[in-house]
Amino acid sequence: MLKHWLPTLMLASVITFVPAALAQDSGNAPQSAPEGAPPEHGRGGHMDPEKRTEMLTKELKLTSDQQPKVLDILKSAQSQMQGLRSDSSLSQDDRRSKMMEIHKASNDQIRALLDAGQQKKWDVMQSKHEQWQGHHQGGQGAPDSSQQQ
């Protein structure tokens, strides 16, 4: 008799947990850090512009001239993203498409600031990010380069 209940129990678990997980990932409700918390990671686990600039400085050995330019690009992208998240007139697909455009534009701007050696490292980082993102999106098609950050 237990043999008959096990598949039913497993199906009930999937029906219960999958919609909840999808609802969390859909971006319908913007998530923010608690009041007073440091802005280390925003929605989706992306680093804030300052932390990301620090990370890129380490990884790519950004010069003191490149650092403020990268920071400005990242701050601008973050501001544009926040504006999109608060724009309820856009459909989810339109919002996602515009966010991908912002990601691509900011990544292209950053890449243009880099020297040839840094660009090679940047390309490797972006490739790894795309692979990770494709793996964590449940194989919903191969992500394109506009989904990087």
Residue pLDDT, tens place only, 45-97: 567 999 999 999 999 999 999 999 999 999 999 999 999 888 889 898 999 99
Distance in angstroms (rounded) separating the CA atoms of residues 142 and 137 = 9
Q: Name the phi and psi angles at 129, rounded to 5.
A: -65, -40
The number of helix segments (H) and strand segments (E) in the chain equals 5, 0
Residue at 16 is within a domain = no
* Residue 76 Cα distances to 49, 66, 72, 133, angstroms: 9, 16, 6, 23
| pTM given for the model | 0.61
**Res 86: pLDDT:** 87
- Reduced to 3 states, what is the DSSP secondary structure of residue 29? coil
Which structural domain, as residue segments, surrounds residue 77?
47-136+144-149
Residue at 127 is within a domain = yes
Most confident of 3-7, 70-74, 140-144: 70-74
Count of domains forming the chain: 1
Residue at 83 is within a domain = yes
Residue at 131 is within a domain = yes
What percentage of the chain has pLDDT greater than the value 90?
Answer: 44
- For residues 97 and 21, which has the higher predicted lDDT (pLDDT)? 97
For the cut 60, the answer to whether the pLDDT of residue 1 exceeds it is: no
